Amino acid sequence: MSYDLNFWKPSGKQEQEPEEIYDLLCDGQKVKGLGKMPIKQIHKLMVEAFPETEDSDPPRIPFKNGTVDVTLCANYVRFDFSGNLPKRAREVLTALMAGLGCSMFDAEFGEWYDREELVYLANSGTSELPSAINDLLQAATED
């Protein structure tokens, strides 16, 4: 099983629909109206949550039955999930990105989750979150 989750920060009015933005980003094109992503902070928190993260290009989080390949760009982050991964992988990464004020596009289902929906989704998870990610998520909940 494989799927990808894509995160970005809309800044201002979006001229395109999320699916169109996703297609443009996948084609390596620039998209107006996306905020800057805190790449170093994302990488640091990702490694704290998953110490087994390989420092490759792109970074990869290995699991017993699969991997998460990570694309870190100035204006978006993409997680490519492949294999039979634990639910915790998706929940922790979603909570991390929600805590940083991102919105999410689930390409498999063509679903867009704005920041508030993503924070709600992250707070509904059952996995225990690393304290730094939990702190981010709580701050986002209070906003």
What are the two backbone dihedrals, phi and then psi, of residue 25, each rounded to the nearest 5 degrees? -65, -40
Report the alpha-carbon distance of residue 41 to residue 19 in Å, rounded.
Answer: 26
CATH number at residue 84: 3.30.310
Confidence of residue 135 (pLDDT cuts 50, 70, 90): confident
Domain count, the chain: 1
For the segment 48-54, the average pLDDT, to the nearest whole number, is 94
Report the alpha-carbon distance of residue 35 to residue 66 in Å, rounded.
Answer: 31
pLDDT of residue 143: 65
Percent of the chain with pLDDT over 90: 66
Q: pTM of the full predicted structure?
A: 0.91
Q: 128: domain range? A: 2-142
